[in-house]
């Protein structure tokens, strides 16, 4: 009888890409009635990136993926699956953005598919990759959170268009026998009772594309910001407490808290409620805005490129988004 050696999933590399076009609060104040002062005070955002008209989500995702693959020091041919989390796919319905990215990278005859969990997308990806690897289905999975969210922003709605930005973050999740360098735990959840707080109502099967839907601008993101804010702070805090308790870890054993980058006030409120000092909290919202599914891998990449994390650094991830969805993860960084 053969005994299976336990296999764990390791986040073995990280990469990110942002478009070069910087859009400042000042730039937006020329389009909608807003100001740098309002945006900075209410959100902490100073600028964000918007992709060019000829750049699609898959272009950003492919660039982030190439960096992650190079840093993982693996040959592309060993990648067993490509999964993308996005709410701004290249094409409505099909093909998936993952199929486009896999083709760009020369990965064929391997599974490639998208998931939609809005801003919680990267946590859902981690959960999926961990299951695939620990069940010994695959050994190397490329996961990518990528958004050209500017393509679904209503540039006439000041309450949403100032909040979001474009970007992509990618990671290679690899099989390892070393539990100390693995994704220790992931928890994901959703509550569809709150679906109307944050949605793109138009152009799906509920309200198919029509001249009227477009006239009413229902193809764009709509958000009840204030209600979402309150639920976000409560849910994110509770989620972190639960995952730490479940893993018998204290916040002092965490090297970096990497929350979804939606709003500096949410990040500060959650960080303070949990007792994390500000230098332990990853912060990119001021320069990239809310990049939805890309936000957490972009923030991990920022820590990596600034030399703050090294192999074994313990990260606590926490996300929240449309659905409503949320989730958290604890991992020891497996990269070099």
We find the least distance from the C-beta atom of residue 285 to ligand COA, in angstroms, to be 10
Estimate to the nearest angstrom the gap between the alpha carbon of 297 and the chain centroid.
Answer: 6
Q: Applying CB under 6 A, which of residues 82, 149, 171, 232 lies at the interface with ligand COA?
A: 232
Please tell me which residue in 25, 161, 188, 260 is annotated as part of the active site. Answer: 260
The question of whether 260 is a catalytic residue gets the answer yes
- Round to whole Å and give the CA distance between 182 and 255: 15
119 given a catalytic annotation: yes
Catalytic member of 25, 99, 119, 188:
119
Of 320, 330, 331, 335, the residue at the interface with ligand COA (CB under 6 A) is: 320
Are β-strands 167-176 and 140-147 bridged in parallel, bridged antiparallel, or unpaired?
Answer: antiparallel
* 262 near ligand COA, judged by CB under 6 A: yes
Stretch that binds ligand COA, among 33-41, 69-77, 172-180, 327-335 (CB under 6 A): 33-41
Of 80 and 157, which has the nearer Cβ to ligand COA?
A: 157
DSSP 333: -
Residues 162-191 that bind ligand COA (CB under 6 A): 162-163
Query: 188 catalytic, yes or no?
Result: no
DSSP 80: -
Are 18 and 167 within 8 A, CB to CB? Answer: yes
From residue 268 to residue 297, the character string flagging contacts with ligand COA as x (rule: CB under 6 A) and all else as - is ----------------------x-------
Task: Residue 176: count other Cβ atoms within 10 Å of its Cβ.
Answer: 18
Residue whose C-alpha is closest to residue 152's, from 135, 165, 168: 165
Residue nearest to ligand COA (CB): 225
* Cα 145 to Cα 14, 46, 121, 129, 299, distances in angstroms: 11, 22, 7, 13, 12
H or E stretch covering 230: helix 225-246
For residue 67, give the H/E element and its range.
Answer: helix 57-72
Minimal distance in Å, beta carbon 162 to ligand COA? 4
Chain positions contacting ligand COA, by CB under 6 A: 34, 38-39, 42-43, 119, 158-159, 162-163, 225-226, 228-229, 232, 262-263, 266, 290, 320-321
């Amino acid at each position: 009888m053969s005994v299976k050696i336990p296999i764990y999933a390791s986040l073995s590399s990280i990469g990110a890409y942002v478009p070069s076009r910087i859009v400042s609060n000042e730039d937006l104040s020329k389009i909608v009635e807003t100001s740098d002062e309002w945006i900075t005070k209410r959100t902490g955002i100073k600028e964000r990136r918007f992709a060019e008209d000829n750049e699609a989500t898959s272009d950003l995702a492919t660039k982030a993926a190439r960096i992650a693959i190079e840093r993982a020091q693996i040959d592309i041919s060993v990648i067993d699956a490509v999964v993308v989390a996005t709410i701004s796919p290249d094409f409505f319905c099909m093909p998936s953005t993952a199929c486009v990215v896999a083709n760009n990278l020369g990965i064929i005859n391997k599974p490639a598919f998208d998931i939609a969990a809005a801003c919680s997308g990267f946590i859902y990806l981690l959960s999926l990759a961990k299951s695939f690897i620990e069940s010994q289905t695959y050994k190397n999975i490329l996961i990518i959170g990528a958004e050209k969210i500017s393509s679904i922003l209503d540039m006439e709605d000041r309450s949403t268009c100032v909040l979001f930005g474009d970007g992509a973050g990618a990671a290679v999740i690899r099989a390892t026998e070393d539990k100390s360098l693995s994704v220790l735990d992931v928890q994901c959840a959703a509550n569809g009772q709150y679906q109307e707080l944050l949605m793109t109502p138009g152009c799906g099967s509920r309200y198919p594309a029509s001249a009227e839907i477009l006239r009413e601008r229902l193809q764009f993101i709509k958000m009840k910001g204030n209600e979402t804010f309150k639920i976000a702070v409560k849910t994110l805090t509770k989620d972190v407490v639960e995952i730490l308790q479940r893993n018998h870890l204290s916040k002092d054993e965490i090297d970096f808290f990497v929350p979804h980058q939606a709003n500096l006030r949410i990040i500060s409120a959650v960080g303070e409620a949990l007792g994390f000092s500000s230098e332990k909290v990853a912060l990119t919202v001021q320069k990239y805005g809310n990049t939805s599914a890309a936000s957490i891998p972009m923030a991990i990449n920022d820590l990596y490129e600034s030399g703050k994390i090294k192999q074994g650094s313990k990260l606590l991830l926490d996300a929240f988004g449309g659905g409503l969805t949320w989730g958290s993860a604890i991992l020891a960084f497996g990269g070099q």
